[in-house]
Amino acid sequence: MAMPQQGMSTDEVFARLDEYRQDDLPVKGGRAWGFVYDAGPEVDAVKQRAVVTYLGKNGLDPTVFPSLERLENDILAIARDHLNGGEEVVGTFTSGGTESCMLAVKAARERGRAKGIEEPELLLPVTAHAAFHKGARYFGVKVVPVAVDPESFMVDLADLEAKLGPSTVLMVGSAAGYAHGVIDPIEAMGKLAKERDVLLHVDGCIGAWLLPFLAELGEDIPPFDFRVPGVTSISMDLHKYAYAPKGSSVLLFRDAELRRHSYFACAGWTGYSVVNTTMQSTKSAAPLAGAWAVLHYLGHEGYRKLAASIRDATRALLEGIEAQEDLRILGAPKMGLIAIASDTVEVFQLCDALAARGWYVQPQLAYGGSPKNVHLMVEPANARMAEPFLADLAECVREVKASPAEGPNEMLVQAAKMLTPEMVEQRFDELIAMVGGGGGEEGGMLPKERAGLNAVIDMLSTETKEALLKEFMSKLYRA
Ligand SMILES: *Cc1c(COP(=O)(O)O)cnc(C)c1O
């Protein structure tokens, strides 16, 4: 593909985009239990109009576009109220959960430096999102993994306390954790954080917006927000359960002093003075305007109604899954994030069987005491789909039980066991071929059925898995 010498017509451009989109996961219809959040066509229309209106504005400098300052302050005030923060709580609108989490890590590192900590450490439950590992690696902070209870998947407080040391700058709790929908014991963590003068970040990327609505509806949600002493920052994505355009999240800090550590300023070059609240400098204002528009369009009542539909669907799913004797739910999810494990059926095969019936579910590999499982994330469009999904799930369990896959053969097991990160580049094509993938340049690299591939990946060390993932990306982007 090269850039056309003569520009295409509008029709041609969009015909081509339509063609490219053919194999994408459908973002509408509720058959995807992950990735997409669909609050309906009215919300979409509002979002799209706001996005188009603000597409050309540059978030680099709010003094040039003062409306951006107003939009961000409005959103932050709403977010602060939602999480019971006082006037002293301040925040930043970011491009997503990952950026919010990373900036929390940066702020903690800078505060640690100011206190004389040279080799900062981050206490991270094994259930904490990968975004914190990313922040730690980008900003040179050492991750100290913390165990979780093998039944509840909440952080193990004794292990947390044992690992707290003089170099600890930050600990992280999730509300809720993506993998199991479980809320960590934030009050107990806050007490420990306060006693030891360590920062506590609550990762509410996926839960912090939704959980207060669920609490209002009568669900049993333990306090996790700024009411809890010791909580010093909270990340909350708006592009998840607030249905804002992708590229919308907020990071709230207990006070402005802590937030200052997340900022960047540079006057040491010949161009314009740079001061950034986020990692991006020039950035689109479209997500900001889209988020503002959706928050104001739906309002408290709108969000509560959507939360009720998610709650009802989640209840139906939990009951329906628990009633199937081959399946069990990991932990006790506080929101619509459900991890389904099994001792009798191969869960990766179950993912394939569901995919064949048009359902997208996420396979989660075994890690840190959490067995391999099938992950569901419930959003408004799936709410109507609980019953048909449960019926298909039961069928798929029967199907997989009746014809279990053989599993990786001895040769493959041996090859996987011997694989080291250094060998990945050389052995990649061979490995993919062994699990039925690698159909050439155009045929797609991955096999249509993924159970075999996932079973092999599940056997690798964390480092080898990471090397494999990078190699995969490197092959995917050929140009
Ligand atoms: C989604 C998520 C993140 C990362 O957010 P992105 O918006 O995908 O960058 C972090 N933490 C949790 C708990 C999440 O669910």
Same domain, residue pair 244 and 283: yes
Tell me, in angstroms, the distance from the centre of ligand 1 to residue 129's CA. 7
Taking 70 as the threshold, does the pLDDT of residue 440 lie above it?
A: no
Instruction: Let me know if 477 is exposed, middle or buried by CB neighbors in 10 A (0-12, 13-18, 19+).
Output: exposed
Tell me, in angstroms, the distance from the centre of ligand 1 to residue 98's CA. 6
Q: Give residue 442's pLDDT.
A: 52
Band (273; pLDDT cuts 50, 70, 90): very high
Q: Are residues 261 and 107 in contact, defined by beta-carbon separation less than 8 angstroms? A: yes
Q: How far apart are CA 36 and CA 310, in angstroms?
A: 14
Q: Where does a domain end: 402, 425, 449?
A: 402
Nearest atom, ligand 1, residue 239 CA: 7
Same domain, residue pair 420 and 445: yes
Same domain, residue pair 323 and 441: no
Instruction: List, in sequence order, the alpha helices (H) in 196-237.
Output: 211-216
Chain segment 395-438, per-residue pLDDT in tens: 999 999 999 888 788 888 888 888 999 999 998 988 888 888 88
Mean pLDDT across the stretch 201-225? 98
Q: How far apart are CA 187 and CA 228, in angstroms?
A: 6
Total structural domains within the chain: 3
Q: Give residue 237's pLDDT.
A: 98
Q: Round the average pLDDT of the chain to a whole number and report it.
A: 95
Same domain, residue pair 443 and 392: no
Q: Give residue 406's pLDDT.
A: 82
Q: Give residue 404's pLDDT.
A: 87
Tell me, in angstroms, the distance from the centre of ligand 1 to residue 453's CA. 25
Mean pLDDT across the stretch 229-241? 98
Beta partners for 123?
Answer: 144, 171
Same domain, residue pair 239 and 379: no
Q: How far apart are CA 234 and CA 80, in angstroms?
A: 10
Q: For residue 184, is it within any domain?
A: yes
Same domain, residue pair 204 and 316: no
Tell me, in angstroms, the distance from the centre of ligand 1 to residue 407's CA. 32
Nearest to 102 by CA among 160, 59, 141, 69: 141
450 or 94, which is more confident?
94
Ligand 1 environment, Cβ below 6 A: 96-98, 101, 129, 131, 174, 178, 203, 205-206, 237, 249
Q: Give residue 443's pLDDT.
A: 55
Q: What are 107's two structure tokens? A: 């702020």
Candidate from 206, 210, 235, 241 with most ligand 1 atoms within 8 A of CB, to mutate: 206
Q: Give residue 400's pLDDT.
A: 96
Q: Give residue 113's pLDDT.
A: 97
Q: Give residue 401's pLDDT.
A: 94
Mean pLDDT across the stretch 63-71? 96
Atom 4 in ligand 1: which residue has the minimum CA distance? Answer: 97
Q: Give residue 118's pLDDT.
A: 96
Tell me, in angstroms, the distance from the centre of ligand 1 to residue 249's CA. 9
Chain segment 19-37, per-residue pLDDT in tens: 999 989 888 889 999 999 9
Q: For residue 31, is it within any domain?
A: no
Task: Give the domain extent around 392.
Answer: 307-402
Percent of the chain with pLDDT over 90: 87
Nearest atom, ligand 1, residue 237 CA: 7
Q: Where does a domain end: 272, 294, 316?
A: 294
Same domain, residue pair 318 and 385: yes
- Read off the pTM: 0.96
Q: How far apart are CA 19 and CA 273, in angstroms?
A: 44
Atom 7 in ligand 1: which residue has the minimum CA distance? Answer: 97
